[in-house]
Amino acid sequence: MTIVNMCRSLPGSSCRPLDRCYRFLPCLSDPARRSALGLKVALVMLHLIYVGMLFLFDGGLIEKTKREPWYTAIYLTLFVATLVQYFVTSASSPGFVVDAMRAVNESNTIFRKALVASKQPASSKNGNVVVTVEGSQMARSLLGSNATSWTKLVMDLYPPGTSVRSLTCSYCNVEQPPRSKHCHDCDKCVLQFDHHCVWLGTCIGLGNHCKFWWYICEETSLCLWTGIMYITYLKENISSAWWKDAIVILLLVTLSISIIFLLLLLLFHSYLVLTNQTTYELVRRRRIPYLRGVPERVYPFSKGACRNLYEFCCLQSSKYRMERLPTAQELEEKSRPYTICDVVTCRCCC
């Protein structure tokens, strides 16, 4: 029984303030959203405590700010930018499959209306209407009458003979494109699912993985800079007041643990970006059907480090970009050992 139900079961009006609070702030009535909000408040408070202690204890920092205001201005700018990036990433959509399906169906409707309005000649065979749009494979496979537009699009991303039933999510009842997975926390299927971030309160997927990388990059830089300022304070004021030193050392120890974790996380996700992988694919490789037969050191979706980096950074405007499964010939080419010629021609980069 939740707190709200227990409170409502009590006689009298002891729950009226709580009901008013839930009425003005509906997000607090949901336990999951309430815990996510609590984590966000805790993270902001931690940032304020670490930065506030510096300006409270370190008189030399105040003097340095007066002499070199640009130093503190850059630090505070990074502090604000990190928090802004945190909330932007937290509020961004990871790219849900149901939203992509809706977008495809809307595109199908637009194509049908345009076809009828322009009265272009169309060939009909086996009940399918074929429309050719240059440079758009998605547009070519949208129209059909025997199956929905989304089903046709998803089936084109898998090898021939794949059963639709094996691709249908048992929770959402939608066909999953390659690299997508159902998130039980968000209760939706996510395109290019990476993981569900508890601190952000959202999934990390195709739509916000780039924002997430920039957030951990900014957070790592901020923690490193803050750690250097704490060490500088201890060197200059180690014998001023023991209780101040104890507080600063305690904060520095916890900050050092956070820096190690953030550095490893940043390096790990940088590796994933350069090889076009996700955390889920790397950790659950043997449990994912389309990755079981792929050798360990072969990255089936990689297009080369440079191309992977370009698509990760510059093609984020499309949250519904989907990749087809590589063919057996492409996997064989990727598994071919590197030669001196491959190194000279930068095969790993392009």
Q: Which candidate in 189, 197, 210, 223 is catalytic?
A: 197
The one-letter amino acid at 335? S
Assess contact for 183 and 190: CB atoms under 8 A: yes
- Rounded distance between C-alpha atoms, residue 254 and residue 260, angstroms: 10
Identify which of 228, 222, 234 has the alpha carbon closest to the alpha carbon of residue 57.
234
pLDDT in tens, 240-284: 677 888 898 999 999 999 999 999 999 999 999 999 999 999 999
* pLDDT 10s digits, 147-171: 467 888 888 888 888 888 888 898 8
Radius of gyration of the CA atoms of the chain, in A: 26
Cα separation, 234 vs 232, whole angstroms: 5
**10-19, 103-112, 133-142, 291-300: lowest mean pLDDT where?**
133-142
Reply yes or no on whether the pLDDT at 140 is more than 50. no
3-state SS assignment for residue 190: strand
Element (H, E) at 129: strand 128-130
What single letter denotes the amino acid at residue 3?
Answer: I
Q: What is the pLDDT of residue 138?
A: 42
Reported pTM: 0.80
User: Residue 169's closest CA among 148, 189, 149, 146?
Assistant: 189
Reply yes or no on whether 21 is catalytic.
no
pLDDT at 141 over 60: no
Residues 199-218 pLDDT 10s: 898 999 999 999 999 999 99
Domains of the chain, residue spans = 34-94+206-289
